[in-house]
Every structure is written in C-alpha cells, then in structure tokens.
C-alpha cells in the first residue's frame, strides 16, 4: 500500500513538472511578441534637390526641423547633397519633388485647351536677367517660376541657361510687339508712321515727354518697353519706339549728342542693371519688416538691399555695416546721389554708427525697410545730418 502511494505521488509530481514546462513553452511566444520594438512610421521619402537645406525641406514637409532630423538620424550640422533620400516624418507632407522620375510639373492645367494662358514653354536666360525680371516679362509671379526650375531667391542665373516657363505664363516672342499692318499680311510697320526705331534716354526725360516727342501715346510706348507709370528712366537707357512713332527731323544728330561722355552718364548696360535693382525693390513695397529676413515675404533693411542686388549677380552680405565696406564711396556733398546707390544712416539708438540702409531711386527718394512693425516703403532720403555713407555698386 505504501509503495502504491509513493508511486502515485511520484507520477503526480512528474505530471506537475510537465504541465509547468508546457505552460512556460506556451507563454514564451506571447512574451517575445510583447517585447518586439515598435517601428517608426513615416509618410514617404524625399530626394534632396540642388540648393535644398534641412530647414527648407522641413518647411516643405510641414514638420518641425527636429522631427526631420530625428527620423533621419541627422543633426543640424549634417551635410546633405542632391540625390540623398530622406524619410518624411509621420504626419508630414511629401513635397512635389519627391519623385523626380514623375513629370510633376506637367500639370493638367498646362495641357488643358480651355485655359486662356499660353502653354508652358522655355526661355533662355539673357545678360542682366533676374528671376524677378523674367517672371515679370512672362506675366508670372516669382513663386511658380522658382518652383518650376528648382530655384531659390539666392539662385544666380547664368546667361544661356534654359528655364521652364510654367503653365499660365506668356511666351516672349520678341522684345517689341509686331505692328498691326492692316493691308499687308506680312509683319510690316504701320503705313502712316515712320518705321519703329530707338531712342536714348537723356537727363530730364519722362515717359510723357518721350511719347510726345515721337508722336505716340504713352500706352504703346510703355507696352513696347515693359514700362509702368512707376518705372524709372535712367539716362543712357535705349527705348524702343513702337510702329507709328515719328523720329524727329534732326534725329541723325540728336542720338549722337550723348556720345560725348557726360560726368555721371550711364551706359545702356549699366542703366538696365540699375533698373533691375530698383524694380525689384519697388516690387517689395508693403511687405513687413522682419529681423534677419531677406524675402520673399518679409525683409529687414539689409535683407532688402542684398536681395535687390542679387538680381544682377552682386552678392552683398546681410549686414548694413558690411555692405558699407563694398562698392565705391560717393561724396554726396559734391556728387549727385543716383538710382541704385545704397544710403547708409545712423539710427537714434546709436548716433554716428551705421544702423540702417536703403536703396536710392533718384537723387531725393529711396526705398527701405525701416523697423519692427513697419513695412517696406518709399520716401524722401533723410537729411544730411543722419547720413553716414553712400556707396555705388554699378558704374559705367
């Protein structure tokens, strides 16, 4: 009897051990599954483009910079290069350039025959061109033009480069519109007036006086030269006289009059470059002041002047003090301030120390971004007592 009891107990113990072992075996997969690390979810991938920065990419993805750095195991000092693939953090948006192989810029809007705008085309960069002037020439805003060509406001345009004109832009066929010849099918000049010619702007000219001098209305003259009522005519610039205009009788001698060098007179090339600078500054009127900003939506004083001159390939530092060390000094007591000159002045906080800069649009007026809470504005150049320096960056 005792032997039977011992045998029973031994069997019961063996069964208990087996059950415990079995239970442990069953529980193990559950414990392993619970310990598996959660994978970081992402919203897609983005291929780094030329001129990209981590800050710009984070803003395009609509995520914080720290999220972008974390998911890609980068730091703020990491160097990125074109072709590098970055993960888009969860909740972010994949930018339109994420897949270069897909024709992202060939939108249905561009191919739609119902749109009134000209179809997308191309444009070859010319000397003195800028992003602003090309956009203006094709009836576009700078944003779509930069997006279609992977440009930034700091991009330098090299003559000969081909740019894509996005849908909605107007292709420029020739610098002057063709005359409407009613009797002839070929693009001949209008029968009544003299053939289209050119005119060199001289000091004291205005759009009205030039139109009156050549027997044309202001509208056709402005259209033929891409002018507006606010455009500044710089002496030395060559204007196209539209068909129907009359060249004055003593014209053979008149255009050669400025051939004798006049002190302060500008060559057509220099005049065109200065007009590009001033036109860019004028286009920013009304945009708010913001510290350390250089566009496209807000500016501080030196950010505005830096971006205006970058349109013609002159790369100025983002500092009024450093900009005052570039270019050629102008003695405003003995020389006229002219369009494009940078005006440096002291602020009330630090008399005698350069603290502000603006762009002259003629000898008495300038455009500048004054202070916090203000906007880019046009006004009269302050009194001599506040001016500390005038610098010139375009000569000839």
CA 169/CA 177 separation, integer angstroms: 17
CA 121/CA 112 separation, integer angstroms: 14
Inter-CA distances, 111 with 118, 126, 135, 147, 175, Å = 10, 27, 20, 18, 26
CA 303/CA 113 separation, integer angstroms: 41
CA 272/CA 129 separation, integer angstroms: 10
129: closest CA among 340, 235, 272?
272
Helix, strand or coil, per DSSP, at residue 56: helix
CA 144/CA 150 separation, integer angstroms: 10
**Phi/psi at 269 (nearest 5 deg)?**
-65, -45
The answer to whether 265 and 347 are in contact (CB under 8 A) is no
**Phi/psi at 22 (nearest 5 deg)?**
-60, -45
Question: What angle, rounded to 10 degrees, do the helices at 301-310 and 268-283 form?
Answer: 140
How many CB atoms are closer than 10 A to CB 394? 23
The answer to whether 37 and 31 are in contact (CB under 8 A) is no
Out of 81, 138, 214, 301, which one is annotated catalytic?
A: 301
CA 297/CA 283 separation, integer angstroms: 11
Helix, strand or coil, per DSSP, at residue 150: coil
81 has catalytic annotation: no
301 has catalytic annotation: yes
Inter-CA distances, 341 with 118, 388, 392, Å = 38, 13, 5
Helix, strand or coil, per DSSP, at residue 94: coil
356 has catalytic annotation: yes
Out of 138, 214, 318, 356, which one is annotated catalytic?
A: 356
The answer to whether 168 and 112 are in contact (CB under 8 A) is no
CA 361/CA 277 separation, integer angstroms: 9
CA 336/CA 359 separation, integer angstroms: 14
CA 359/CA 381 separation, integer angstroms: 9
Q: Please identify every residue annotated as catalytic.
A: 301, 356, 368
């Amino acid at each position: 009897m005792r032997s039977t009891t011992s045998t029973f107990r031994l069997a019961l113990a063996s069964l208990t051990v087996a059950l415990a072992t079995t239970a442990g075996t069953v529980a193990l997969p559950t414990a392993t599954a619970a310990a598996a690390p959660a994978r970081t979810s992402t919203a897609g991938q983005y291929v780094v483009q030329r001129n990209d920065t981590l800050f710009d990419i984070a803003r395009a993805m609509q995520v914080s910079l720290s999220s972008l750095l974390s998911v890609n195991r980068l730091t703020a000092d990491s160097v990125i290069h074109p072709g590098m693939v970055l993960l888009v953090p969860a909740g972010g948006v994949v930018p339109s350039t994420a897949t270069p192989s897909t024709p992202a810029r060939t939108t249905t809007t561009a191919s739609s025959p119902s749109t009134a705008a000209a179809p997308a085309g191309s444009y070859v960069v010319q000397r003195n061109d800028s992003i602003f002037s090309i956009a203006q020439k094709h009836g576009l805003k700078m944003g779509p033009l930069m997006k279609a060509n992977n440009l930034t406001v700091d991009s330098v345009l090299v003559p000969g480069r081909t740019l894509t004109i996005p849908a909605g832009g107007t292709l420029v066929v020739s610098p002057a519109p063709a005359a409407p010849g009613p009797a002839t099918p070929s693009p001949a000049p209008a029968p009544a007036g003299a053939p289209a010619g050119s005119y060199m702007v001289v000091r004291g000219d205005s759009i009205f006086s030039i139109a009156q001098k050549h027997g044309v209305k202001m509208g056709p003259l402005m259209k033929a030269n891409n002018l507006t009522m606010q455009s500044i005519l710089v002496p030395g610039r060559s204007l196209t006289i539209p068909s129907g205009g009359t060249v004055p009788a003593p014209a053979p001698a008149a255009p050669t009059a400025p051939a004798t060098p006049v002190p302060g007179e500008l060559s057509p090339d220099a005049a065109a470059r200065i007009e590009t600078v001033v036109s860019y500054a004028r286009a920013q009127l009304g945009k708010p002041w913001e510290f350390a900003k250089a566009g496209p939506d807000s500016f501080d004083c030196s950010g505005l002047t830096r971006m205006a001159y970058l349109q013609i390939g002159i790369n100025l530092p983002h500092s009024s003090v450093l900009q005052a060390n570039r270019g050629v000094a102008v003695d405003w007591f003995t020389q006229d301030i002219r369009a494009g000159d940078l005006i440096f002045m002291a602020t009330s906080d630090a008399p005698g120390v350069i603290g502000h800069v603006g762009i002259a649009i003629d000898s008495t007026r300038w455009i500048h971004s004054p202070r916090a809470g203000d906007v880019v504005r046009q006004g009269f150049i302050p009194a001599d007592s506040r001016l500390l320096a005038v610098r010139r960056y375009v000569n000839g």
